[in-house]
Amino acid sequence: MDISKKNQLIAEELYRKGWVIVDDYLPEALYFPLLLEQQDILEHGQFRHAGIGKGESFAIKPEIRGDKVFWLDEYQLSPMQKKYWEIMEKLLIQINQRCFLGLRSFESHFAMYPPGSFYLRHLDQFQQVAYRIVTVILYLNKEWEEEDGGALRIYFPDENGIEQGLDIYPKGGRLVCFLSGELPHEVLPTHKERISITGWFKNTG
C-alpha cells in the first residue's frame, strides 16, 4: 500500500475513533536513516532534557518525564528529515479533508528515552495554549521485544464508557496518531534506549 493510501486510512480512523496505529507505515529504508541521524545528533550532545508545560510554567521533571529531545528546524532539515516532513505535510492535508480540524502547521522532535525512563500519564495539549490538535509518533527502533518495556499505553472508553488501556510497543516503522487533547497516554518504563520522532499538527500558523 502506498503512503497516500495509508494517510487516507489514518484520516478515516482518526475521524471514527480519535486514534490509529499503522504498522510498517514507513519501510526500513526510510526510517533506518532517520535512526542513524538521530544517533549522530545524540553523539554530538545536541539532545536536551524534555520538560513539561510552556513559557513560565516550563520545568524539567524527570519524575514525570525522562526523555531527551532534539527539535527539528523546518529551515534546516537534512534530506531524510525533509522526506519525513513532506510525508507529514501530506498527512496533514488528508486529515483536514476528512476531519475538518483546521490544521495549519507542524512541529516535530526526535525523542530518546534512556533505560529506566518513562513519561507519566498526560495529554499533549498545554493548559494555557491548546494549539496542538493531532499527535503523530513514528518509532525508529530496529528491534523491540515486549520484555524491553517502553510501551506507549493509551487510554480510551469502550462501548460501555469504561476506560480501557492498550499497550503499543515502539517497533520501528510503526506510526501512532491521535487527538492530542483527548487521548490520555503514558510511556511505561523502558529497559532499552527508545527512539522515536514525534510531531504535532497545530491549528496555528
> Which residues of this chain interact with ligand OGA, rule CB under 6 A?
111, 119, 124, 137, 152, 185, 187, 196, 198
Residue number of the CB atom closest to ligand OGA: 152
Residues making contact with Mn ion (CB under 5 A): 124
**Residue of this chain nearest to Mn ion (CB atom):** 124
- Using an 8 Å Cβ cutoff, are 63 and 118 in contact? no
Q: Residue 94: which of Mn ion, ligand OGA, none does it interact with, CB under 5 to 8 A by kind?
A: none
- Minimal distance, residue 66 CB to Mn ion, in Å: 13
**Least Å from the CB of residue 21 to Mn ion:** 15
Question: What minimum distance in Å lies between the beta carbon of 113 and ligand OGA?
Answer: 7
Nearer residue to ligand OGA within complex by CB, 111 or 134: 111
CB nearer to Mn ion: pick between 37 and 124 = 124
Task: Find the shortest distance in angstroms from Cβ 124 to Mn ion.
Answer: 4
Q: What gap in Å lies between CA 89 and CA 154, rounded to an integer?
A: 25
By beta-carbon proximity to Mn ion, the closer residue of 60 and 93 is 60
How would DSSP label each residue in the chain?
--HHHHHHHHHHHHHHHSEEEETTSS-HHHHHHHHHHHHHHHHTT--EE--BSSGGG-B--TTTB--EEEE--TTS--HHHHHHHHHHHHHHHHHHHHH-----EEEEEEEEE-TT--EEEE-SS-SS---EEEEEEEE-BS---GGGB--EEEEEE-TTS-EEEEEE--BTT-EEEEETTT--EEEPPBSS-EEEEEEEEES--
At its nearest, how many Å lie between Mn ion and the CB of residue 87?
21
For ligand OGA, give the closer residue by CB, 38 or 198: 198
- What does 197 bind: ligand OGA, Mn ion, none (CB cut-off 5 to 8 Å by kind)? none
